[in-house]
Amino acid sequence: MMADRRQGTVSLLVPFGWAVVTLLAASVIWSRLALTVDLAFFLPGPSTEQEKVLMDRLGQGPGSQLLFISLHGRGQQELRERSRQFKSALVDSGLFSTVLNGQEEITRESIPPVIWNNRFLLDDIDWTVAGLQAAFDRRLADLAVLSGTDISELIAADPFFSSIAIMERLAVSNLVRDAAWIDASEGVAYQIAESIAPAFDMDAQSRTVELIRATARKLGDDNVDIHGMGAYGVGLQTVIRNEARYRSLLATIAIVLVLLAAYRRPRLVILGAVPLMIGGLVGLAVVTLLFGTVHGITLAFGFTLFGVAIDYPLHLFSHARTQPAARAIDAIWPTLRLGAGSTVLAYLAIAVSGSRGLAQLGCLSAVGVLVAMYATRSLLPMLMRQQDATAHAAASSRQAHPVRLGHAAWLAVLLLGMGAVIAQGSIWTNDLSSLTPLSPDILRKDRALRVALGAPDIRHLVSLRSESEEQALRRTEYLQTRLEQAERDGLIDDARLVTQILPSRRTQQRRREQIPDTRTLQERIDAASAGMPFRDGAFTEFIEASKAAKKARPITAADFEDSVLESFVDSHFYFDGAHWGSFATLHGLSDPDRLSEWLSRQVPDATLVDLKAASESLVSNYRLRIHVVLFVAFVLIAVVLLWRLGTGARLLWVLGTLASAIVMTVALNALVLDDLSIFNLIALVLVAGLGLDYALFMSRPEKHSEDSRQTRHAIRVCAASTLVAFCILAVSSVPILASLGITVASGVLLNFLLAWLGTTPRKS
């Protein structure tokens, strides 16, 4: 009686406990989970100076806030008008610091106050009589073609046109031919808009993109094309969300069909989802608590990796077909625990592989697998009914017998796979873009647009670092003079540096001292304009402004806050907490090696950073680190297996089968996919987890032929359900999801075949 009651209490307590855990996890997710699609999330920590620059600049570098917009229309006239209206709507929205459509020019109103007020300190001016004379000559020529009050006022206050010269030097795209902006034959007008929101601020970017689309729709273009990091992030968020939803629905339906076919009991299908659901929720809740923000890919990938846990209830169901569930779980528990424990080790290895994204991924799947395993152990047998067993086999107390294991299959596949891998040479890609879920087509179009519209080279920049702000600016000024020489030598077309609008204090002081006093200036103006038709007093405003500039306080980076030039200053000049750094962006760099070599002689403290090379070394170091971590995980798993299985044929067979499946998967994937990325490597960890599960179960000593039949049934169902789910992923439009699907699907098939062919079931 007492024992029954205790049994009853326990059987109530366990489901209740799991329900509480599930609810707690759900409430944590509901209240705390924030999603991100920040592209830098899966990148590792930088180790070299170049990699550091790369990481600093990713998502906030010069050009990262630029959106390239292709507006459609018919004919030159309609396109020009549409482009004009579109630009003015974008400017009015206040979401952009700059909007360019090729129709702009520099006028007095377009010069930011910070430039206008400091124009005599931002430009080298020849204040001599000859200098003034040359300037007056040019202004007379301007008056020969331009007229109007604004031109007269501009000349009267700034006869050197310093303010115009400064703005012209900064123009985002001053190299662009007019024709590049409107292509009537293609029916496209291009615009460049620089969003105020940073590229990684997804909420703000999605508002920005929506405004662009709505504005285009209002003007009659429903198909406006938007390129640029911000737009990609927004597009990606939508695509990933849609794809994840659609593919997971399809995969779920497919798995349900497989399970229904295997067990013919809808109840079991629902029960099978219980450990998975609890594990998923708890895993996600733990990640939410540990990290706060969770990456979209962590979700998609994490649930995939953790999908290995669906095998656990399946083993139970298959073995419970001929015996009560409680006895079945006792029978399979040692093997289940060993398989799941080893898988958790591999997943934890991913968690320490070096990036926030992977840390989340490993954590989510490790916790998920662990929880699902215990839920399968403690909860499922209670929820299963006697009827769930289709037939009852007599309880057996006979000695378990080892399974006959064949070593030829795995050995042959391992040798073949290794040969294929070696023959293919380099199979891993070092392209950083392989870590972004963007399609190569989009990245190619992005580069082409940047080149066509004269945006700065986003691959190369010159980096300088100094101890102090003033020192950094002085070195940048020196770099500026050398880059001007590089321009004359034909090494580059143009360069942008912060000192073009923010000179060092020393330079500002020198320029201030060069401004003549009012009387001298008046005398020089009189001398320079002798014989010219300028009226007396025409340049009074210029004299007043010069007088004010002589007394003005030095201009600093803070003076650019809230101006249209703020993002220019921010992206070319920074303080990282210890050093002041400055970047020069380059236009028209044709021979990076020559410039790099030239710079090392001319400005030894400046480095030409090749962001692509930096990203490649970053990825390759990253992969090396993952390889090392995974190797350590493999050794750990081997140690655990050694401990549980002891030395002998079974250990050799399990490790050999696992290794051969992985090596062959790598070989096949390298053949089918162009390059393998770190994500394929991660997918291989799942393949290893599944392979371990199959190999351990297939090789476990069995008590009778019925036992062996159920094991083989379970493995068939496990492999079939995983295979259909990943085949559905393999045809996804998101490249990394597709690539993941292909890797896992092929790996599962190999795991299954090797485990199947390598064992001979006991005959009754």
Partner 1 sequence: MKTALLTALLLLASVARADDLLRVVEILDGIETPRDEPIPFVEKRQSQLLAEPLILHGHVSFSRDGVLAKSIDRPFRESVLITGERMELERDGKTRRVSLDKRAGVKVFYAGMRALLNGDAHALLELFDVTTEDIDERWRLRLVPKQDELRTFVEKLTISGQGSQVLTVHTDQPGGDWQEMSFTPVSD
Contacting positions for partner 1 (CB under 8 A) = 80, 84, 103-105, 107, 137, 140-141, 143-149, 152, 155-156, 178, 533-536, 538
Rank residues 83 and 732 by Cβ distance to partner 1 and give the closer one.
83
SS3 744: helix
Look-up of token digits 């040359």: 134
Rank residues 513 and 536 by Cβ distance to partner 1 and give the closer one.
536
Rank residues 203 and 536 by Cβ distance to partner 1 and give the closer one.
536
Rank residues 101 and 355 by Cβ distance to partner 1 and give the closer one.
101
How many Å apart are CA 484 and CA 130, to the nearest integer?
24
Alpha helices in 33-60 (DSSP H): 49-57
Task: Give the DSSP letter of residue 13.
Answer: H
On the CB side of 460, CA atoms within 13 Å amount to: 17
The number of beta carbons lying within 10 Å of the beta carbon of residue 285 is 23
Minimum CB distance to partner 1, residue 126 (Å): 17
Minimum CB distance to partner 1, residue 139 (Å): 8
SS3 182: strand
Minimum CB distance to partner 1, residue 150 (Å): 8
The neighbouring-strand residues paired with 70 are 190, 225
Rank residues 80 and 247 by Cβ distance to partner 1 and give the closer one.
80
SS3 576: coil
Rank residues 232 and 539 by Cβ distance to partner 1 and give the closer one.
539
Minimum CB distance to partner 1, residue 88 (Å): 10
Minimum CB distance to partner 1, residue 497 (Å): 22
SS3 461: strand
How many Å apart are CA 80 and CA 97, to the nearest integer?
22
The number of beta carbons lying within 10 Å of the beta carbon of residue 22 is 18
Asked if 229 and 199 count as a contact pair (C-beta separation under 8 A), the reply is yes
SS3 524: helix
SS3 584: strand
Residues 6+ apart with CB under 8 A from 398: 703, 704
Minimum CB distance to partner 1, residue 539 (Å): 8
Rank residues 149 and 764 by Cβ distance to partner 1 and give the closer one.
149
Task: Tell which residue, 339, 319, 318, has the closest CA to residue 331.
Answer: 319
Phi, psi of 454 (to 5 degrees): 70, 20
Rank residues 148 and 604 by Cβ distance to partner 1 and give the closer one.
148
The conformational region for residue 63 under phi > 0 = left, psi -120 to 50 = alpha, else beta, is left
Rank residues 135 and 244 by Cβ distance to partner 1 and give the closer one.
135
Beta strand pairing call for 580-587 and 494-496: antiparallel
Rank residues 87 and 623 by Cβ distance to partner 1 and give the closer one.
87
DSSP string, 419-435: HHHHHH---B---GGGG
Task: Give the DSSP letter of residue 74.
Answer: S
Rank residues 142 and 570 by Cβ distance to partner 1 and give the closer one.
142
Minimum CB distance to partner 1, residue 69 (Å): 19
Minimum CB distance to partner 1, residue 542 (Å): 11
Minimum CB distance to partner 1, residue 520 (Å): 22
Minimum CB distance to partner 1, residue 141 (Å): 5
Look-up of token digits 């070696």: 422
Rank residues 538 and 728 by Cβ distance to partner 1 and give the closer one.
538
Rank residues 4 and 105 by Cβ distance to partner 1 and give the closer one.
105
Residue 652 burial (C-beta neighbours within 10 Å; 0-12, 13-18, 19+): middle
Minimum CB distance to partner 1, residue 146 (Å): 7
Minimum CB distance to partner 1, residue 156 (Å): 6
The number of beta carbons lying within 10 Å of the beta carbon of residue 312 is 30
How many Å apart are CA 717 and CA 272, to the nearest integer?
12
Beta strand pairing call for 293-295 and 34-36: parallel
Minimum CB distance to partner 1, residue 522 (Å): 16
How many Å apart are CA 334 and CA 7, to the nearest integer?
23
Minimum CB distance to partner 1, residue 78 (Å): 13
Minimum CB distance to partner 1, residue 191 (Å): 15
Q: How far is CA 279 from CA 33, 84, 498, 690, in A?
A: 17, 55, 52, 17
Residue type, 173: S
Residues 6+ apart with CB under 8 A from 600: none
Element (H, E) at 496: strand 494-496
The number of beta carbons lying within 10 Å of the beta carbon of residue 142 is 15
Encoding tokens for residue 532?
């010219």
Rank residues 132 and 155 by Cβ distance to partner 1 and give the closer one.
155
Rank residues 425 and 531 by Cβ distance to partner 1 and give the closer one.
531
